[in-house]
Amino acid sequence: MKKIWSSALALLVSCFAFAVSAETSSAVDQYQLNLRKGVTDISGQVYDLHMLMFIICVVIGVLVFAVMFWSMIFHRKSRGAKPANFHESVKVEIAWTIIPFIILVVMAFPAAKTLIAMEDTSEPDVTVLVTGSQWKWHYKYMDNDVEFYSTLATQPEQINNKFDKGENYLLEVDRPLVIPTGSKVRFLVTSDDVIHSWWVPDFAVKKDANPGFINEAWTNVNEPGIYRGQCAELCGKDHGFMPIVVIAKDPADYQAWISEQQEAQRKAKEEEQRLLAMNMSMEELMSTGEQVYLRTCAACHQPNGQGLPGVFPGLAGSEMALNDIQGHIDIVVNGKAGTSMQAFGKQLTMSEVAAVVTYERNAWGNNTGDMIQAKDVNAVINGK
C-alpha cells in the first residue's frame, strides 16, 4: 500500500515538473513524460515541432473545455437557468471554420520545412545497408568490407524472470552499429522476410524495411554516445526482442574501429578456411552445436526441438533430421523460400553450421550418430 502511495506521489510530482518545464533530458528515467530531444539537428527540430503542436493543441483544448465547463457550472437548471432560444448563427459558424483553418496553415509551414530538411538526398559520408530479418538486424558498411548481424544480448533467463533484469534490459545487442559523429550517415533499409521498421528515437529516424525494396534515411550525430532503439513494425513472434544499438564515435575512433573490424573479418575468413581441413570430435560438435542452436534456432524450433505446432516445425523426430543429411545442410545454409527458415550460411561459419546440424541430428532422441564436418558444409555451399 505504501508503495502505491509513493508511486502516486511520484506521478504527481513528475506531472508537476512536466507542467513547469517541458524540457526533459534524453537520459532514461522512470517517469519520462515527453518526447526526447535527441542528438541531431533534425531530432531537435522534430522536438521543437512536437512542442509547438502540443502547445497549440493544449490551448485549443483548454479554450473549448473552459467554455464547456462554464456552461456546465453556470447554465445548469438547478441554478434556475432558463434555456436561450438561438440555434444558429452563420457568422459564428463561418468564424469557427475559418479560424481553425488559419491555425492549420500556421502549423503546416514549420512541418513542411522540417520534412523537406529530412529528405535531403545529397551524397553521404558513410552508407550502411540495414537489413531486417526475423528477429535480428544485419549491418553492412557499403564502403568497407565490414558486415555483421546484431542480435538481442539480454539473457533468456532475464526475460523469463529467473535472473534479475539488467539496466539495459531488452535494449542491448551483441554487436552494435558504430557510426562516426559529425558526418552524414545514410541508412539504406531493407528486409529479408517480413516488414520491419528501423527506429532510433534519438536520431528521429524511423524507416520501414520492406522486403525487395530499399528505403533510405540519414542522420548526422553531434555527440558521441550510445543510442538505443527498437523494431517498430510488428514482424512476428519476437518483434519485441530485436533492439537496435548505435554507438557514435569520433571520426578518428570510428576509423580505427573500421580497420580493426576489417582485419578481424579477414582473419575470420582465413580461420574458416583453416578449419575446413580439420575434423571436430563429437563432443566438440555437440557442445558448439548446442550453443549455436540456442542462440540462433531456438527462437522458432524451441530449446526442446519441438517447434510450435502449426507455426514452426519441430526437429525432434523429423524426417529431415533423421534421414536426409544433404537436405538438412542445404536448408540450414540456404534457407527455404516462402517460409521463415532463413539462409544461415550467411550468418554462421561453416564449422558452426556443421556443429548445429550435428547437434540437431543427435539431440532430443534424434540419435542418428551422424557427424557433420565443415568440409561437408563447404561441399554444399561451393559444390565441391
Partner 1 sequence: MSEAKHDQKDKNGKLVFKLVATVFLMFGFAFALVPLYDVFCDITGINGRTADSAAVYESVEVDRSRKITIEFITRTNTGMPWEFKAQTRKVEVFPGEMNQVDFYVKNATNKDYVAQAIPSVSPGTAALYINKTECFCFNHQPLAAGAEAVMPMKFYIDPQLPKDITFFTLQYTLYDVTASAQDVAMNQG
Partner 2 sequence: MSTATTELDHDDHHHHAPSGIKRWLYTTNHKDIGTLYLWFAFIMFLIGGAMAMVIRAELFQPGLQIVEPNFFNQMTTVHGLIMVFGAVMPAFTGLANWLVPMMIGAPDMALPRMNNWSFWILPGAFTILLASLFMEGGGPAFGWTFYAPLSTTYSNDTTALFVFSVHIMGISSIMGAINVIVTIFNMRAPGMTWMKMPLFVWTWLITAFLLIAVMPVLAGAVTMVLTDKFFGTSFFDAAGGGDPVMFQHIFWFFGHPEVYIMILPAFGIISAIIPTFSRKKLFGYASMVYATTSIALLSFIVWAHHMFTTGMPVGAELFFMFATMLISVPTGVKVFNWVATMWRGSLTFEVPMLFALAFIVLFTIGGLSGLMLAIVPVDFQYHDTYFVVAHFHYVLVTGAIFSIMAAVYYWLPKWTGKMFDVTLAKWHFWCSLISVNVLFFPMHFVGLAGMPRRIPDYALQFADFNKWISLGGFAFGLSQLIFLALLIKACRKKGEPVSAQVWEGAEGLEWEIPSPAPYHTFETPPVIK
Closer residue to partner 1 (CB): 245 or 350? 350
187/129 Cα distance (integer angstroms): 6
For the bound state, the minimum distance from the C-beta of residue 212 to partner 2, rounded and expressed in Å, comes to: 3
Is residue 131 close enough to count as binding partner 1 by CB under 8 A? Answer: yes
Q: What is the CA radius of gyration of the chain?
A: 28
Among 41, 216, 272, 290, interactor with partner 1 by CB under 8 A: 216
Considering beta carbons, is residue 50 or 184 the nearer one to partner 1? 184
Strand order of the β-sheet with 146-150 is 146-150, 136-141, 126-133, 185-191, 215-219
Residues 284-343, interacting with partner 2 (CB under 8 A): 308-311, 337-340
Between 130 and 248, name the residue whose CB sits nearer to partner 1.
Answer: 130
**Does residue 71 interact with partner 2 by CB under 8 A?**
yes
**Pairwise CA distance, residues 288 & 351, whole Å:** 9
- Select from 179, 231, 300, 333 the one that contacts partner 1 (CB under 8 A): 333
Is position 118 an interface residue for partner 1 (rule: CB under 8 A)?
A: no
Q: What is the 3-state secondary structure (H, E, C) of 294-345?
A: HHHHHHHHCCCCCCECCCECCCCCCHHHHCCHHHHHHHHHHCCCCCCCCCHH
- What is the 8-class DSSP label of residue 82? P
Q: Using CB under 8 A, which of the segments 56-64, 123-131, 175-183, 348-356 binds partner 2?
A: 56-64
Of 369, 371, 377, residue with least CA distance to 351: 377
Q: Are 288 and 372 in contact (CB under 8 A)?
A: no
Residue 346 interacts with partner 2 (CB under 8 A)? no
Is 80 or 369 the residue whose CB approaches partner 2 more closely? Answer: 80
Q: State the CB neighbour count (10 A cutoff) for residue 283.
A: 8
Binding site partner of 334, from partner 2, partner 1, none, Cβ cut-off 5-8 A by kind: partner 1
Quote the longest CA-to-CA distance of the chain: 98
Number of residues that bind partner 2 (CB under 8 A): 105
Residue keyed to cell 524507416: 207
Member of 52, 107, 129, 153 binding partner 1 (CB under 8 A)? 129
Q: Which residues bind partner 1 (CB under 8 A)?
A: 119, 121-124, 127, 129, 131, 142, 188, 190, 192-193, 211-216, 330, 333-339, 341-343, 345, 380-383
